[in-house]
Amino acid sequence: METAYDVLFTANAEKDLLSLKKLKESALDKIMDLKQNPLKGHMLKGSLNGVRALKFSIKGVAYRAAYIVIEEDRVCLVFMIGPHEGFYEKAQGRAKIFGI
Confidence label for 100 from pLDDT (cuts 50, 70 and 90): low
Three-state DSSP state, 77: strand
Contact by Cβ (8 Å): 32, 24: no
Strands (E), the chain: 6-9, 42-43, 52-58, 61-70, 75-83
Residue-level pLDDT at 3: 82
Q: Is residue 41's pLDDT more than 90?
A: yes
Mean pLDDT for 3-20 is 95
74: left (phi over 0), alpha (psi -120 to 50) or beta: left
- The tens digit of pLDDT for each residue in 26-36 reads 999 999 999 99
Residue-level pLDDT at 39: 96
- The tens digit of pLDDT for each residue in 44-84 reads 999 999 999 999 999 999 999 999 999 999 999 999 999 99
List of domains in the chain: 6-98 (3.30.2310.20)
